Amino acid sequence: MDNKVLRKLFLGFIQIHILHHAKEEAIYGSWMLEELYEHGYDISPGTLYPILHNMEVDGLLEKEEVNVSGKIRKYYRTTTKGDTILEEAREKAYELFKEIK
């Protein structure tokens, strides 16, 4: 399958993964890159950070800037809207995986 098509397909999985972890606890970009890599997603910071930003703009994540050792680290958590979208995505993913299993 064409890499461009796969990237589009996996973008949704990546966003669900981000919402899942941001609901459990505050996440930050470099940690999320490592987490995604452990699950087979090899994406660059130049791909991840715009995703996080767009999810914030869409009202799915909220950002808190924290000074960590003199540097500002952006932590993300889900919003109420993000929690709702995550639940809907889980239900749809579960139905899909049951069907294609």
CATH fold of the domain at 6-100: Arc Repressor Mutant, subunit A (1.10.10)
pLDDT for the residue 57: 98
Q: How far is CA 18 from CA 22, 26, 98, 101, in A?
A: 6, 10, 22, 24
- What SS3 string covers 24-37? HCCECHHHHHHHHH
Spell out the domain ranges in the chain: 6-100
Q: What pLDDT does residue 65 have?
A: 97
Q: What is the pLDDT of residues 32-82, one digit of tens each?
A: 999 999 999 989 999 999 999 999 999 999 999 999 999 999 999 999 999
